[in-house]
């Protein structure tokens, strides 16, 4: 059974408040108020001027204490990237990362096109890849984290603000720590935000969002052989507070079991949210032996996914 052997996160120190982003994002004062009061946003993190996107990933990997002394066991380094294209060809952050953190022997590649829930895809496929190889000691390193390098005009900042940060995790094909109990993924290419000539993608995505996210959460819990009531903690994507309140209302799941604090203090750090929120859960002693927790997220394109773990 696929398991996580360690999780780390990195948030840059530089904090930018939502009003400070108003000019960059072309937000009106009224919109700023909505983002703050209704959606629960306060600030996001941004890189230092001399910090690159790869620097974010390197910092997350260096914070992964479970990696130390086990570098030789890492067979794969997988970059779970939400934005399909983020650097000019042939710039290659995952290869640069491997060289900088002493993993030049591992096979590096990127998986993408699952938006900000590519992290769960990467965990699932890493476990399968390691199981196929058959070496019980082998590990895969997954990294996530991206820069806010452009404002894609297809994606108005109506209900989420991107922050910068990174996360990393070690995956093993089997293990006792943070075992993966179930995974569900639903892709809705019909909601493609970049489909030529389509203008109502945002409305259709918003309409499908809650129901589809609830479906994958319930399906992942079923796949784990559990009931939703067994889930003690939900690690969300840090899009906004309101959407999670609505999802919880539809699910009949207590919203106080959703770790939402990073919405206000970190913003939505692409596919790194899961790892950033995991570390916050550890800091708060929310994960004890046997805790069943669930990660869920969705992203434009569109992909919805959920994964159930047991700590």
* C-alpha–C-alpha distance, residues 287 and 293, integer Å: 8
**Site for other proteins contains 65 (CB under 8 A):** no
The residue within the footprint of other proteins, chosen from 4, 21, 94, 271 (CB under 8 A), is 94
Per-position x/- string for 193-222, each x denoting binding to other proteins as judged by CB under 8 A, each - no binding:
xxxx-------------------x--x---
Of 39 and 300, the one with the shorter C-beta distance to other proteins is 300
* C-alpha–C-alpha distance, residues 270 and 144, integer Å: 8
The residue within the footprint of other proteins, chosen from 104, 136, 211, 225 (CB under 8 A), is 104
Number of residues that bind other proteins (CB under 8 A): 64
Check if the beta carbon of residue 304 is closer than 8 Å to that of residue 236: no
The residue within the footprint of other proteins, chosen from 17, 33, 72, 91 (CB under 8 A), is 91
Check if the beta carbon of residue 169 is closer than 8 Å to that of residue 142: yes
The residue within the footprint of other proteins, chosen from 90, 256, 283, 289 (CB under 8 A), is 90
Residue 212: strand, helix, or coil: helix
Give the footprint of other proteins on residues 135-194 (CB under 8 A).
147, 149-155, 183-190, 192-194
Q: Which long-range contacts (CB under 8 A, 24 or more apart) does 11-15 make?
A: 11/45, 11/165, 11/266, 11/269, 11/276, 12/45, 12/46, 12/47, 12/48, 12/51, 12/56, 12/164, 12/165, 13/45, 13/48, 14/45, 14/46, 14/47, 14/48, 15/43, 15/44, 15/45, 15/46
**Site for other proteins contains 86 (CB under 8 A):** yes
Give the footprint of other proteins on residues 13-52 (CB under 8 A).
52
* C-alpha–C-alpha distance, residues 187 and 278, integer Å: 25
Q: How many CB atoms lie within 10 A of CB 267?
A: 30
Q: Least separation, in Å, of the C-beta of 95 and other proteins?
A: 6
Q: How many CA atoms lie within 13 A of 60 on its CB side?
A: 36
The residue within the footprint of other proteins, chosen from 85, 199, 285, 290 (CB under 8 A), is 85
Of 39 and 79, the one with the shorter C-beta distance to other proteins is 79
- Which stretch, 33-41, 264-272, 278-286, 295-303, contacts other proteins (CB under 8 A)? 295-303
Where on the chain is the footprint of other proteins (CB under 8 A)?
Answer: 52-53, 79, 83-95, 104-115, 118, 121, 125, 128-129, 131-132, 147, 149-155, 183-190, 192-196, 216, 219, 223, 299-303
């Amino acid at each position: 059974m696929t398991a996580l052997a360690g999780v780390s996160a990195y948030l840059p120190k530089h904090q930018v408040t939502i009003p400070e982003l108003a000019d960059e994002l072309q937000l009106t004062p009224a919109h700023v108020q909505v983002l703050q009061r209704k959606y629960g946003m306060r600030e996001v993190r941004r890189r230092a001027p001399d910090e690159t996107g790869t620097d974010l990933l390197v910092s997350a990997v260096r914070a992964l204490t479970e990696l130390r002394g086990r570098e030789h066991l890492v067979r794969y380094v997988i970059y779970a990237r939400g934005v399909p294209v983020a650097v000019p060809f042939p710039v290659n952050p995952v290869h640069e990362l491997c060289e900088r953190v002493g993993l030049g022997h591992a096979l590096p590649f990127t998986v993408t096109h699952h938006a900000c829930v590519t992290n769960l895809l990467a965990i699932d496929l890493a476990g399968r890849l390691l199981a196929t190889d058959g070496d019980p000691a082998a590990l895969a390193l997954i990294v996530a984290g991206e820069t806010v390098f452009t404002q894609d005009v297809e994606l108005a900042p109506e209900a989420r603000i991107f922050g910068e940060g990174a996360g990393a995790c070690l995956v093993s094909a089997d293990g006792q720590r943070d075992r993966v109990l179930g995974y569900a993924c639903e892709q809705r290419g019909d909601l493609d935000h970049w489909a030529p000539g389509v203008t109502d993608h945002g409305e259709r995505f918003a309409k499908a969002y809650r129901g589809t996210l609830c479906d994958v959460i319930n399906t992942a819990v079923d796949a784990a052989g559990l009931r939703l009531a067994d889930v003690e903690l939900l690690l969300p994507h840090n899009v906004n507070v309101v959407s999670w309140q609505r999802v919880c209302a539809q699910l009949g799941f207590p919203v106080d079991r959703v770790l939402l604090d990073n919405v206000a203090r970190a913003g939505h750090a692409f596919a790194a949210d899961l790892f950033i929120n995991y570390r916050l859960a550890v800091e708060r002693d929310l994960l004890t032996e046997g805790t069943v927790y669930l990660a869920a997220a969705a992203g434009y394109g569109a992909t919805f996914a959920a994964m159930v773990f047991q700590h």
